[in-house]
Structure 1
Amino acid sequence: MAGKILGEVVKSGQTSTILQRTYEYLNSVSKCSAEDASKIVEELDGLLSKEETKVMIASICPKTHEELRTLLTLEGKTYTTEELDRVLEIVRKYVKS
């Protein structure tokens, strides 16, 4: 999402070398677009309760149960393998190849 905001600044012409490089870096490391990250958050609404957790998952795009479990500690509950698979399935739908 930061990439989207910086992209708008860069396109407006009000930029510096640092902003340009930051924008390029964000584009090179991002795993999905800002729109796709928003879709991930929306789809996680029924599965997770905390907005912070949903946003972190959409930003980091975990690939394994272990990575996901680390992010889910904020939720304060234990998830089944099936629930973890469902979250990872949602993330995989939107991650860049």
Structure 2
Amino acid sequence: MSSFHIIEENDIPYSVAKEILQSFIQGVSSSSLLQKTFEYLNALEKCTPENARKLMEDLSQFVQKKEVRAMISSLCPENADELRAILVMEGRTLSQENIEKILNLIKSYKNN
């Protein structure tokens, strides 16, 4: 059994995790667990890794916590109620105007 060591922890969107996992599978190792994880992330992916990174950056003007930005960039909520359910973790309430701005950002980065 191989041994892994955590060298860095970072909150990232699913599509970015999939991109990292794909490069690892191609370059180093491909176990059934890694392949299943890749397939799972592939099924969940709602925007490209590049767009997810841009969305996380653009969300920083509205959302302070990186883990919340990563979750929004991963799940790409489609309506205000879905978005508010995620924003609860932010610990503060955003105005309806900012909710709409965030939803518009999501739409602009999401896969069609």
Structure 2 length-normalised TM = 0.77
4, 12, 17: which is aligned to 2:27?
12
1:49 to 64, 75, 79: 64
1:37 maps to a residue whose letter is A
C-alpha distance in 2, partners of 1:78/1:61? Answer: 19
- Deviation string for 1:52-72 (max 9, x for gaps)? 211111111111100100111
Q: Once superposed, which parts of structure 1, at least 4 consecutive aligned residues long, lie more than 4 Å away?
A: none
Gaps of 5+ in 2: 1-15
Q: Show CA shifts across 1:11-54 (max 9, x none).
A: 21521233223212321221112221111110011112221211
Residue 82 of structure 2 is aligned to residue 67 of structure 1: yes
Question: Aligned match of 1:21 in 30, 33, 36?
Answer: 36
Query: Identity of counterpart residues, as a percentage?
Result: 36
Q: Which moved more, 1:62-71 or 1:13-22?
A: 13-22
Summarize the Cα distance change of 1:19–1:73 in structure 2 as closer, same or farther, 3 Å threshold. Answer: same
Aligned to 1:76: 91
Task: Give the structure with the larger helix fraction.
Answer: 1
Q: Give 1:90's aligned residue.
A: 105
Q: Taking structure 1 as the reference length, what is the TM-score of the superposition? A: 0.88
